[in-house]
Amino acid sequence: MNAKRTKVPLYIIATFLVGLKIYIAYRFMFSMEIENPMQELILFVNPFVSVFLVFAISVWFKKQSRQMKFIRYTAFILTFILFANLVFYRSFNDFITIPTLFQGSNMADLGSSILTLIQPYDILLFVDVILIWYLSKKKEDVLSVGYQRSGKVFALAMSFVLLAGNFFLAEMERPQLFTRGFDREYLVKNIGLFNFHIYDIVMQSKTESQRVFADGNELPEIQNYIDENVKSDEKSDLHGIAEDRNVIFISAESIQSFVINNEVNGEEVTPFLNSLTEDEDTYYFENFYEQTGQGNTSDSEFLVENSLYPLSRGAVFFTHGGNEYNGLPEILGQEGYHTSVMHANNKSFWNREGMYNSLGLDKFYGEEAYEVSEENSIGWGLKDKPFFEQSMKYLQSQEEPFYTKFITLTNHFPFNLDEEDSSIEPFDSNSNTLNNYFPTVRYTDEAIEDFFNQLKESDLYEDSIFVIMGDHIGISANHNKAMSQYLDKEEITPYDQVQLQRVPFFLHIPGHGEGEVKSEVTGQIDVKPTLLNLLGVEAENDLYFGNDMFSDDRKGYIALRNGDFISDEYISTSGVCYDRQTGEPIEAEEEEANANNESGSTNACAPISEQVDKELGYSDDLIYGDLLRFMDFEEEE
């Protein structure tokens, strides 16, 4: 007599296969750091918890065919979500959020950039999906499909117990985890990728409702904070020094400060920008940080024009492009300036057309304004040299004074460059991205030099001031091994990673003669108040979180979008407080129980961290609630 064959529930098999795959992907395909055994345990547990909850739903289907179909398609969908996040992570070192999905119109322009992020071994992610499909189609006789009601209830109850256990461990490891939703890597490490996406959906619903229920009563608290902690009545020595001059602003795509005054293969990477650091008419800020989030270039524009922080999820240009703002173009427009942006890309990318209207911009010269061909374009579009050349006629035709921003394209991931345009050799490392970065940076440097020479031949140079700013990093943490090789370091630490967020900021004032290298900690949030100060324009009734870079009365720190910060003395990142000068961690000091009978440890970064969280929160409130619509910016104080 044959023994009765034991049948195995397919949802258990699927949970094991998909959960194990996700854990392997976490450890070896995403560059997430594990700091202690508890984090390792949580990282191992959360994939199984997440997928068990989903696959356990199948037991409630009465028909076997529906059970099998649900498990098959669920396995595929979960794997596709994992794959999409992996590709996104390779480019942005981040995870997909609902707002980034609204940026799908950008995908048509990504082209080869996406293809370079897909690896041949990614197909292995779908091996278990194929196995699950095979079992559900060919091995139905060995699979358990009939369940008593008690078994169904048990599966559902067990899934919630496991989920609660996961959240309990996560809260032990990172208290108040869910109050720091901008730290997406911590969320994924602690609650899992799929639970993170559910959390993201909930947060999206919450933020969407903020505008509906906002009535302006939130403004006095924010205004008081800004008046007490940000604004200064003190005018710097450079106040009004550029009054009535044109402003020519160059947003230099992906250029980071580590290339300035540095070499590759014995060649200067940026000879022209290097020369500006020693120019008597130029101020160079060597500790200037980019503060962008998922919106990259559009976030840098948002920071510069508004002195508000970008959002922790998605790009403001997409999600809140129709809000009311009091942007730099609108303020200067009221002072008689003609305002424009020149960028050889389509007007729908980053929803620029809609956002520029909200900022009060007079004119956008997009790709339709330029002659673009196969010969003069590469990667994302028109090369920087012909871009500046073709822009000159538009610049010279504008009424003065004007505020015009140029956004370059060539130094963009994946950093392609035609051989005839390359004047230095690539770096030699295990990262083609970093290797090719140096020739494209040099090309942009040459393009900016040519543009300066063209301006000097025109009648615009002496009547203008110039800003050159790196918009965001170009080399993500995914290339840290190669970066450590270039910088001659054993490894790139979290402290180093923050320092790599420094981007160049040059302020060139022809005829000034008092330029110097400035070491103050500054960031993109400071650009708006700085330019208004230089131009002698008052905006007293405005709401902003930056400081004039030349003022002695500054708040003393720069907040990054993920809650990290850089102050005059410290760098706070990944939960560690570092000495900014030495890069050494500062040990937490034990304190006596306070008045509330709370005991524990604190560190030197704690007070500023509280300010940073408050500041980011207030900025989010302004954007999510569209609170500036309740302001009268022309009202006299």
Q: Does the pLDDT value for residue 596 go beyond 50? A: no
pTM of the entire predicted model: 0.79
Least confident of 112-121, 241-250, 593-602: 593-602
- C-alpha distances in angstroms, 541 versus 110, 325, 529, 634? 40, 13, 12, 7
91-105, 343-357, 436-450: the lowest-pLDDT one:
91-105
> Which fold would CATH assign to domain 219-630?
Alkaline Phosphatase, subunit A (3.40.720)
Pinpoint the residues of the chain covered by CATH 3.40.720.10: 219-630
CB atoms within 10 A of CB 310: 29
Other beta carbons within 10 angstroms of residue 49's beta carbon come to 25
pLDDT greater than 70 at residue 244:
yes
CB under 8 A, 24+ apart: contacts of 429-432: 429/481, 429/482, 429/485, 429/486, 430/481, 430/482, 431/479, 431/481, 431/482, 431/483
User: Is the CB of residue 563 less than 8 Å from the CB of residue 609?
Assistant: yes
pLDDT tens digits along 178-237: 655 556 777 888 888 888 888 888 877 776 777 788 888 999 999 999 999 999 888 899
Most confident of 25-34, 135-144, 553-562: 553-562
How confident is residue 95, by pLDDT bands cut at 50, 70 and 90? confident
Neighbours of 194 (CB within 10 A): 20
pLDDT surpasses 60 at 321: yes
418-476 pLDDT tens trace: 999 999 999 999 999 999 999 999 999 999 999 999 999 998 999 999 999 999 999 99
Q: Does pLDDT of 168 surpass 60? A: yes
Cite the beta strand spans of 270-428 per DSSP E.
Answer: 282-285, 288-289, 338-342, 363-365, 377-378, 381-382, 402-407
Q: What is the DSSP letter of 143?
A: E
Other Cβ atoms within 10 Å of 69 Cβ, number: 14
Which 3 state secondary structure label does DSSP give 471?
coil
Burial of 454 (0-12, 13-18, 19+ CB in 10 A): middle
> Is pLDDT larger for residue 153 or for residue 583?
583
Taking the CA atoms of 478, 476, 422 and 347 in sequence, report the sign of the dihedral they define: positive
Distance CA 303, CA 26 (A): 33
> What's the mean pLDDT in 621-628?
94
Taking only the tens place, the pLDDT of each residue in 494-525 is 999 999 999 999 999 999 999 999 999 999 99
Give the integer Cα–Cα distance in Å for 394 and 306: 25
Cα angle, residue 265 at apex, residues 264 and 269 outer, rounded to 5°: 30
* CA 490 to chain centroid: 26
Q: Which residues are catalytic?
A: 297
Determine contact, residues 16/52, Cβ cutoff 8 Å.
Answer: no
Tell me: pLDDT of 92 over 80: no
Whole-angstrom distance, CA of residue 131 vs CA of residue 71: 12
Cα 393 from chain centroid (whole Å)? 34
pLDDT band at 141 (very low <50, low <70, confident <90, very high): low
β 505-508/282-285 pair status = antiparallel
Radius of gyration from C-alpha coordinates of the chain = 27
